[in-house]
Structure 1
């Protein structure tokens, strides 16, 4: 069995929350190899990973737009 198959087999045996942790770890490894990141970018990724680890779902584009409108206190036409 090769390394990829071995890893996949072990990953499938993990509970869902542990699978998510593994995915987050692999994602963090990929982020480290990316070209230089600003300190702010690194901090934002850390915050995002904490949110994901907590189980709170991330907002989609429409939910973000609704949140912006509600915080600004008025209806706005957001063109994207």
Structure 2
């Protein structure tokens, strides 16, 4: 029996709650892979950049969704009281 069959067999025996935990774990593993791949492309040079990059890598691995530029601008506007939805 191959790994996929073993995984599927084990999956079918789990409760829905445990199946959800498995899905979340798989997503976390995917983020770790993505963070590692990105990490090999960028090498921080300063102590501050190294610290910030480590924080970013840990955040991604934990499953936190990073904001894009538009989302950051929206959040800043909301916090400063300038955001209005039309």
Cα distance in 1 for partners of 2:33, 2:70 equals 29
Cα distance in 2 for partners of 1:40, 1:59 equals 21
Deviations 1:18-76 (A, max 9, x none): 343234334434444xxx6111111111111111011111101110000111122224x
Cα distance in 2 for partners of 1:67, 1:31 equals 27
Cα distance in 2 for partners of 1:16, 1:71 equals 30
Q: Which has the higher contact order (CA 8 A, sep 6+)?
A: 2
After TM superposition, the runs of 4+ consecutive aligned structure 1 residues lying more than 4 A away are none
What TM-score, normalized to structure 2? 0.51
Q: What residue is the counterpart of 1:28 in the other structure?
A: 39
> Between Structure 1 and Structure 2, how many residues are aligned?
58
CA-based RMSD = 2.2
Q: What residue is the counterpart of 2:58 in the other structure?
A: 50
What TM-score, normalized to structure 1? 0.54
Based on CA coordinates, which of the two structures has the bigger radius of gyration?
2
Unaligned runs of 5+ in 1: 1-14, 76-80
Q: What residue is the counterpart of 2:22 in the other structure?
A: none
